[in-house]
Amino acid sequence: MEDWKTALLSEGASIAEAIRVLESNVAHICLVVDGEGRLKGTITDGDVRRGLLRSLTLTEPADKVMKTTPIVGRASQDIQTQLDALRRVQILQLPLVDDDGRVVGLVTTKDLIAPGPRDNWVVLMAGGLGLRLRPFTEEMPKPMLKVGPKPLLETTLESFLLQDFRRFYISVNYLADKVRNYFGDGSRWGCEIRYLEEKEPLGTAGALSLLPERPSMPLIVMNGDVLTKVNFGQLLDFHREHKAAATMCVREYDFQVPYGVVRLDGARIHGLTEKPIHSFFVNAGIYVVEPGLLDALPIDGRRFHMTDLFEHAIGKGQETAAFPLREYWIDIGQLDDFTRANGDYGGLFD
């Protein structure tokens, strides 16, 4: 990687500064160095998101999310040796250091392996009735409403295409012909689109039972009424790092109690908190599912939601992971959301 110096981050920087470095270099890694250029640790997107799950704030020191014992290589090693190191420990980036531990380069899988289309399938759920957006959805399914200059679902499709995904299934039910007639087989976008026909609404996971074959790689599932700038490659990396059967994207949601909260011990008041704010992580409607988990789907046409699939995995003791979103995200469920998304579109997606 020729411009590896763009990945350098000074020791003592904040998490916010680490995010800026992550987003500004093509390797998507921070190499944390001291004043002499010696490598102190590395930070990846997954490290930051795990910090967010621990309720760390962006102003806190980046070393709170830093890996302090990263795998490193030597600039003197040949390319095959560097590639073997990446494969052996299943990492995407390999910092190169000299004998004094100073960073002298950075190698990534993209440097050593020619990039190509991703083999992961993407399922976009576009069969809902959109009742809360009537009358707009009386003649058009919600994912086909225009946000900015084009249908919401087209913006989502193009986001995946920019990140090298090429095979799509779209789940349809309500006004299904509006979706099929617009997207066709996907050839206009240089991709393959097939349709999962729900004769009756099957829920947010039930449509997966209509897949004609089992995928060979983790499957991305996304609600068709979500507008986001999430990096789906980073989502897949996070899913793989956690060896999860299923991963759910989550958003932090704050709720302020509009009254003073009284803390009681029986009848005795032992504390008062004026209008406290409670924070929760909520489901963001984007998921990664391992192929084997699809065996849990009912085949009798019962409604089955993604939350049911996660409950099944949890009940079986399988690993499930939460991927906290820090990118733009909005669920276009009501008129206010629709209006806000149209206002946001120009500055984010044009």
Over residues 148-167, the pLDDT tens digits come to: 899 999 999 999 999 899 99
Pair (295, 148) in one structural domain: yes
Q: How far apart are the first and last CA of the chain?
A: 29
Structure tokens at 27: 């390797």
User: Does residue 341 have a pLDDT over 60?
Assistant: yes
Looking at residues 210-237, what average pLDDT do you find? 93
Asked whether residue 295 falls in the same domain as residue 212, the answer is yes
Average pLDDT, integer, range 251-255: 87
Which of 55-59, 108-112, 216-220, 242-246 comes out lowest in average pLDDT?
Answer: 108-112
Query: Which H or E element spans position 52?
Result: helix 45-53
| Distance between CA atoms of residues 234 and 230, nearest Å | 8
Render pLDDT for 286-328 as a digit per residue (tens, 0 to 9): 999 999 999 999 877 788 999 999 999 999 999 999 999 989 9
Looking up residue 68, the CATH number of its domain turns out to be: 3.10.580.10
Predicted confidence at residue 88, as pLDDT, reads 64
Q: Which of 112, 127, 162 is the last residue of a domain?
A: 112
- pLDDT tens digit sequence for 85-133: 666 656 677 788 888 888 888 877 665 555 678 899 999 998 777 677 7
Given 65, 95, 112, the domain boundary residue is: 112
Global pTM value: 0.84
What is the domain extent for residue 177?
118-349
Are 49 and 35 within one domain?
A: yes
Of all residues in the chain, the percent with pLDDT exceeding 90 is: 48
**Residue 189 in this model has a pLDDT that exceeds 80:** yes
Question: Which residues fall within 8 angstroms of residue 231, CB to CB, at 6 or more apart?
Answer: 45, 163, 327
Residues 169, 331: Cα–Cα separation, whole Å: 20
Tell me the backbone φ, ψ of residue 157, rounded to 5 degrees: -60, -45
Q: State whether 269 and 244 are in the same domain.
A: yes
Question: What pLDDT sits at residue 93?
Answer: 77
Residues 103, 130 within the same domain: no
Nearest residue to 244 (alpha-carbon basis) of 218, 209, 276: 218
More confident residue, 79 or 256: 256
Do both 89 and 150 map to the same domain? no
43 with 61, same domain?
A: yes
Residues 133 and 243 in one domain: yes
Which of 89, 112, 135 is the last residue before a domain boundary? 112
Average pLDDT, the chain: 88
Query: 79 to each of 75, 82, 111, 113, 240, how far by Cα in Å?
Result: 9, 5, 10, 11, 25
- The pLDDT of residue 62: 94
- Verify that 218 and 87 share a domain, yes or no: no
User: Distance (Å, rounded) from C-alpha 152 to C-alpha 238?
Assistant: 26
